[in-house]
Chain A
Amino acid sequence: MFERFKTDSRTVVLDAREEARVRAEKVEAEHLLLALARRSAWDAGRVLAEGGLDHDRLRTALDEEVWRTLEAVGVGSGAVWIPGSTLPMSGEPQWGESAKMALRRAMVVVKERGDRYLGPTHILLGVLRAQEGAVPRALAAAGVDPAELAARAEATLGG
């Protein structure tokens, strides 16, 4: 699956694994987005920052989304934070379905556009195509329109 990934995209995948390691048991779409937000010098990271989502604000938006969601079913109030395990992940980290789907959608974007390689911006577009899940919910709560972000990201691809 990764053979058409540009070096930058491999970096995003590795960074996403690291993002997941800190707070989750699986790599999910939001970890890909956090990984993209880390690199503000790249188009994808710049588009996110310009849309008001630098790494810190994205992290906060995602955390708040989880707390609100849990509160809606009467679990906890305010910050729910489980410190998590310090056990190292063994071997390859597990990829959650949301992240797999985002990468599949990134491949679809590459094919639709007739691009030769999959870069970080394609991954961003793949993540932004999700209709449900933590990412669209956090973006909506932060007042960020995914379609507008996607349009800006696509503009950086040219063509």
Chain B
Amino acid sequence: MPTTTDVQPETPAEGLAAVVALRRLADRLEAAEVERAIRQGWTWSRIAEALGVTRQAVHKKYAKRVEAAGIQTRRRRDV
């Protein structure tokens, strides 16, 4: 069993800064992985399900950028 350690930043400033850093890291990771998934032929529905959001949400956020990059997306919804 891996051991766990309680992590508490020393101050609220540290903790809040960590929240921001994690969000930005997550935003970058999300964009990179959505792109990779789309390039590998994933549908928006499947990406949305993997991210735990609606298809509309993920489509609204990335469709224009994917289109601008000239990537073909799949219409099929049954994946």
Residues of A within 8 A of B (CB): 23-26, 66, 69-70, 72-75, 80, 82-91, 132-134, 137
Contact = CB atoms under 8 A, between A and B. Distances in A.
- Secondary structure of the B contact surface, majority rule: helix
Interface of B: 5, 7, 9-10, 13-18, 20-22, 24-25, 27-29, 31-32, 34-35, 62, 64-66, 68-69
Contacts of A25: 24, 27-28, 31
Contacts of A88: 65, 68-69
A25 B5 CA distance: 31
Nearest to B21: A69
Contacts of A72: 7, 9-10, 14-15, 18
B69 A70 contact: no
A137 B17 CA distance: 9
26 contacts: A24-B24, A25-B24, A25-B27, A25-B31, A66-B21, A70-B22, A72-B10, A72-B14, A72-B18, A73-B7, A75-B18, A75-B22, A75-B25, A82-B28, A85-B31, A85-B34, A86-B69, A87-B31, A87-B62, A87-B68, A88-B68, A89-B65, A90-B68, A132-B17, A133-B20, A134-B20
